[in-house]
Structure 1
Amino acid sequence: MPIENFLSSISGGTIVMVLLALFIIICIFLGVRIVPQSEKYVVERFGRLKSVLGPGINLIVPFLDRVAHKVSILERQLPTASQDAITSDNVLVQVDTSVFYRILEPEKTVYRIRDIDAAISTTVAGIVRSEIGKMELDEVQSNRAQLISSIKVLVEGAVDDWGIEVTRAEILDVNLDAATREAMLQQLNAERARRAQVTEAEGAKRSVELSADADLYAAEQTAKARRVQADAEAYATAVVAAAIRENGLEAAQYQVALKQVESLNALGAGEGNQTVILPANAIEAFGDAFKMLGGVRKP
């Protein structure tokens, strides 16, 4: 048969060469490892750590070395975890957290910890409870960024021996029980009412202050008007006094007597006042006026 003739025609040296070529191919296949950019390979020799292969082409010893672990170095996110915590003012809260990390040293990760995700979650839960226990509820709500930063630093210190890097830690939500929510809502409403009363009182106070300022301004303006009037009267008095000094006392007496006479004439000229009763000194005023008038008219 053809097959039997072919086998009979192959010599022993040819078979050896074929087997040697096959062995070389197998060695190349087993000794060359191409590692992707997003992974690292952990190589063991007889069950012990030999090396860690980085991205690219790597050579290992065939039949002695083997790739025991293929570890992704991409950033990972732990599933969102919820844990209960009690604040320093004895308020029970439920905190939702999430952690991002990546593996830097695969040899530590695969040989020092079995379940890295569970270990990180447990560590984060303990740190969160510890940090929230140091703060009051208002501080937890208002200082969330500071709390996240503290948790990240503490988690990094705790997981350093596992060959990982914590890239980010997040507090997604802080939930309260129904009773605490109701109490806080009542407190919020009371605070709003108090602020409204304070605003109303401040408005009333401001109104009183403005009214008082208006009254004070009116009083100041009245005082200024009276002061101007007094200054005018003082000026008129000064003018009269100067005229008396310049023209003599007789001229002043004459003017006074003349005014008295004019007043009496006006009183007698009124309607229904045909009869006028005058005091005795009024007659004297007439006489004085006539005497002064006559003296003035003399050349």
Structure 2
Amino acid sequence: MEDFLIQNQDFLAQNLLYLLLAILLIVTAFKAVRIVPQSEKFVIERFGRLHSVLGPGINLIVPFLDRLAHRISILERQLPTLGQDAITLDNVLVQVETSVFYRIIEPEKTVYRIRDVDAAISTTVAGIVRSEIGKMELDQVQSNRASLTETIKQSVFAVVDDWGIEVTRAELLDVNLDQATRAAMLQQLNAERARRATVTEAEGRKRSVELAADADLYAAEQAAKARRVTADAEAYATRVVAVAIAENGVEAVQYNIALKQVETLNTLGASNGSQTILVPANALEAFGDAFKMLKGRG
């Protein structure tokens, strides 16, 4: 009986040993295999020091020597909207709102060089925004927001590179002014509008005067041209008469005078007034002479 009990005890002890070995193997295998999700990276330490960084997929480590120290998400993160005061180059106090997006690309730097990543980035962005806005006047801040955003992004990227972080976006959301500054700017804007209206009205009056002067000048030029044409015509007629006198002598003069008298009588006869015309006695002789000359020329 005692031998049977001793054999059973040995059998139970042996089975228990096998069971413990099986459990140990299962635990060892479980600890040796690490399955890393696509959106994470694992930081592995050995004896308290950085040993490796595991990427997505199945990874093997040395159980009981290596341990999982940090699970780091590599997804893009957005910091809460940051608001801070800044003073422009022309001494205007503005309230700036910024938004920063980043992701961790080197976890071994992030976990061993910085404790609070979000707070560190927020402080860095606030300092850079104040510094950059302090180099610009208010009008430049409003009009060059895109270039200012790019400058802030590059400056933040240069600072956080040692932390294993990539800044994907840095947006300047809004630039707000206090009430007193808004009122002053509104007054300035109204004054500028009034000035532009006055300038436009003055330019309109100036243009009107210029157009009127151009019209008067054009009219004077046309009148001068008309007088020049009339003078040329009279000069031509005078030359014709002079040539006729030079060729025909006194007869040409008498013919011209008689022709003018006939034209004058025709004009008087065609008028709407009295049809009674008094003709001097010597006018008949002039008519006769003119008819003789006409016949002679015919």
Query: Into which bin does the TM-score normalised by the smaller protein fall?
Result: 0.7 to 0.9
Shift of residue 158, structure 1, vs aligned partner? 1.5
SS at match of 2:64: coil
Alignment of 1:213-292 (within 5 A): 213-246=214-247, 248-255=248-255, 258=258
Structure 1 counterpart of 2:156, which letter? V
Q: What's the offset of the Cα at 1:218? A: 1.6
For residues 95 and 104 of structure 1, what CA distance do their matches in structure 2 show?
29
Report the Cα offset of residue 190 of structure 1.
0.5
Change in Cα spacing, 1:290 to 1:216, as seen in structure 2 (3 Å) is closer
Structure 2 CA distance, aligned partners of 1:153 and 1:264? Answer: 100
2:274 and 2:179 map into 1 onto residues whose CA distance is: 96
Residue 101 of structure 1 aligns to a residue whose secondary structure is strand
CA distance in 2, matches of 1:234, 1:264: 22
Please give the secondary structure, in 2, of the residue aligned with 1:205: helix
- CA-CA distance at 1:64 after TM superposition: 1.3
Q: Which residue is 1:160 aligned to? A: 161
- 1:189 and 2:190 equivalent? yes
Distance change (3 Å), C-alpha of 1:265 and 1:43: closer
Distance across 1 between alignment mates of 2:257 and 2:38: 127
Q: What residue number does 2:204 align with? A: 203
Q: Which moved more, 1:164-173 or 1:9-18?
A: 9-18
Tell me the distance in 2 between the aligned counterparts of 1:90 and 1:112. Answer: 37
Tell me the residue number matched to 1:102. Answer: 103
Q: How many angstroms does 1:273 deviate by?
A: 9.3
With over 3 angstroms needed to count, the CA separation of the structure-2 counterparts of 1:271 and 1:139, relative to structure 1, is: closer
Matched residues in 2 for 1:103 and 1:148: separation?
21
Structure 1 residues 154-163 or 31-40, which shifts more?
A: 154-163
Q: Is the Cα–Cα contact under 8 Å of residues 257 and 288 in structure 1 kept in the other structure?
A: no
- Cα shift at 1:104: 1.0
In structure 1, what is the Cα distance between the partners aligned to 2:192 and 2:253? 81
1:74 alignment counterpart: 75
**Cα shift at 1:187:** 0.3
| Identity, % of aligned positions | 68
Mark the runs of 5 or more structure 1 residues left unpaired by the alignment. Answer: none
Alignment partner of 1:74: what SS? coil
What is the correspondence of 1:31-180 to structure 2 with a 5 Å cutoff? Answer: 31-180=32-181
**How has the CA–CA distance of structure 1 residues 23 and 254 changed in structure 2, closer, same or farther, with 3 Å as cutoff?**
same
Q: Which moved more, 1:14-23 or 1:173-182?
A: 14-23
Give the Å deviation of 1:192.
0.6
Map Cα deviations across residues 171-218 of structure 1 (whole Å, 9 max, x no partner).
111111111100000000010111111111111111111112222222
Which amino acid is the alignment partner of residue 242 of structure 2?
A
| 1:30 match | 31
Distance 1:88 1:264 in 2: 91
Q: TM-score, normalised by structure 2?
A: 0.83
2:245–2:253 Cα contact (<8 Å) kept: no
Shift of 1:33: 0.4
Distance 2:32 2:138 in 1: 60
Structure 1 residue 289 displacement after superposition: 5.6
Cα distance in 2 for partners of 1:92, 1:104 equals 37
Worse-matched range after superposition: 155-164 or 118-127: 155-164
Aligned partner of 1:17 in structure 2 is 18
What is the TM-score of this pair, normalised by structure 1?
Answer: 0.83
State the SS of the aligned residue for 2:99. strand
Cα separation, 2, equivalents of 1:46 and 1:215: 103
Q: Which runs of 5+ in 2 are unaligned?
A: none
Cα shift at 1:256: 5.5
Work out the CA distance in 2 between the residues paired with 1:220 and 1:132.
Answer: 62
Q: Given that residues 45 and 69 in structure 2 are in contact (C-alpha distance below 8 angstroms), is that contact kept between their aligned partners in structure 1?
A: yes
2:69 aligns to what SS in structure 1? Answer: strand
- Displacement after TM superposition at 1:8 (Å): 7.2
Partner Cα separation in structure 2 for residue 120 and residue 264 of structure 1: 109
Deviations 1:33-79 (A, max 9, x none): 01011100011122211111111110011111111110001111110
SS in 1 for 2:52: strand
The size of the alignment, in residue pairs, is 285
In the alignment, the residues of structure 2 paired with residue 161 and residue 290 of structure 1 have an alpha-carbon distance, to the nearest angstrom, of 124
CA RMSD of the aligned region, Å?
3.3
Shift in CA distance, 265/56, structure 1 to aligned 2, threshold 3 Å: closer
Q: Secondary structure at the match of 1:33?
A: strand
Change over 3 Å in CA distance of 1:272–1:33 after alignment to 2: closer
Letter in 2 for 1:43: I
